[in-house]
Amino acid sequence: MFEIIFLGTSASAPSVRRNLPALVVKKDEYRFLVDCGEGTQRQILQSGIGFKNLNRILLTHGHLDHILGLAGLISTFMRWESIDQLEILGTRSALDRVYDLIYGVVLRGAEPPMPLQLRPVQPGQIFEAEDFTIHAFAVSHRGADSLGYLFEEKGRRPFLPEKAEALGIPNGPLRRELVAGNAVTLADGRTIEPDMVLGDFRPGTRLAIVGDVGDPTNLVEVIRGVDALVIEATYLEEEAEMARHFGHMTARRSAELARQAEVRQLILTHVSRRYREKDILAEAQPVFENTVVARDFDVFQIRRASP
């Protein structure tokens, strides 16, 4: 399971109820901040999640509404908060802008308050833990080098305790070995193979997060079948030409992408203050029924569909 906490869901400029783009993905003890719009540090505090373990930031691209909050966040870390280290990942062009912001504006010759690494990434695997990975993938948005991120649990074969009981396998290390895929020998000399106590392979939960995007053509296969897709809905179809001009999606186009890629749930964000939430849903849901519009501080738990 992955958990998403939305910290900012507005497009380009904040509104009364929506801050600029930012969200946190939680998985076990890991927490990843995706984008950091202006005011994100206050949203972190107001959400109650705090700064603990929030030491990796994934940037979708380098436009200011997605990175300006880094200045305040680093400034706060210099004065009040302390974390062991901070790693900011993104395209080279995005990190060049972040470097100017942090070292040219915030630090101005001072040392960072913690070990700080700006890590350029390209499409491919960028992180691996024991039970999940993160892959970056290319996104087309108005000439900017942009990335999306695919969070994917590693698949597994479930342990079937009823079969273990029938075979007389005691609780403890022998069962753990079988779960790990290793054969074991019982006290009576019998050899038990993993296939005797493990069920069919089950893929893990998959979550795709896309920032701003103008042409989603290349995304269909990347996100196919994900359990949840987070993507922008900056415009409605009545302003489709403006959407194309500025390299953004309409609610309908995002819904069409979700339908084409056969995703399970569509979560729309990056919402313009010119539209009402019900109008966005009215455009998207007839195309893809399982659509919601995220609000600031909404929390979603993303789980794999039952077989």
pLDDT tens sequence across 56-92: 999 999 999 999 999 999 988 887 766 888 999 999 9
Binding region for Zn(2+):
61, 63, 65-66, 141, 212, 270
Q: What local confidence, expressed as pLDDT, does residue 180 receive? A: 85
Give the N- to C-terminal CA distance of the chain in Å, as an integer.
Answer: 15
Indicate which residue of 35, 65, 227, 296 is catalytic: 65
In this structure, which long-range contacts are made by residues 276-285, counting pairs with CB atoms below 8 Å and at least 24 apart in sequence?
279/236, 280/233, 280/236, 280/251, 281/251, 283/236, 283/237, 283/250, 283/251, 283/252, 283/255, 284/233, 284/251, 284/252, 284/254, 284/255, 285/255
Q: pLDDT, tens digit, for every residue of 89-103?
A: 999 999 999 999 999
Residue reference for tokens 């990056």: 270
Q: What local confidence, expressed as pLDDT, does residue 156 receive? A: 86
Binding region:
61, 63, 65-66, 141, 212, 270
Q: What local confidence, expressed as pLDDT, does residue 205 receive? A: 97
SS3 35: coil
CB atoms within 10 A of CB 132: 19
Identity of the residue numbered 294 = A
* Span 2-155+203-302 CATH architecture: 4-Layer Sandwich (3.60)
**What would the two tokens of residue 218 be?**
């290349």
Contact at 8 Å (CB) between 60 and 34?
yes
Listed in sequence order, the residues at least 6 apart from 226 whose beta carbon sits closer than 8 Å to its beta carbon are 150, 206, 207, 208, 261, 263, 264
Per-residue pLDDT of the chain (307 residues; tens, 9 = 90+): 999 999 999 998 999 999 999 999 999 999 999 999 999 999 999 999 989 889 999 999 999 999 999 999 998 888 776 688 899 999 999 999 999 999 999 999 888 888 999 999 999 999 999 999 999 999 999 876 899 999 999 998 889 999 999 999 999 999 999 988 899 999 999 999 999 999 988 899 999 999 999 999 999 999 999 999 999 999 999 999 999 999 999 999 999 999 999 999 999 999 999 999 999 999 999 999 999 999 999 999 999 876 5
Query: Residue-wise over 24-33: b if at least 16 C-beta within 10 A, else e?
Result: bbbbeebbbb
pTM of the model: 0.90
CA angle 192, 195, 197 (to 5 degrees): 70
DSSP state of 306: P
Residue limits of CATH 3.60.15.10 in the chain: 2-155+203-302
Q: What local confidence, expressed as pLDDT, does residue 306 receive? A: 66
Q: For this structure, is 145 an active site residue?
A: no
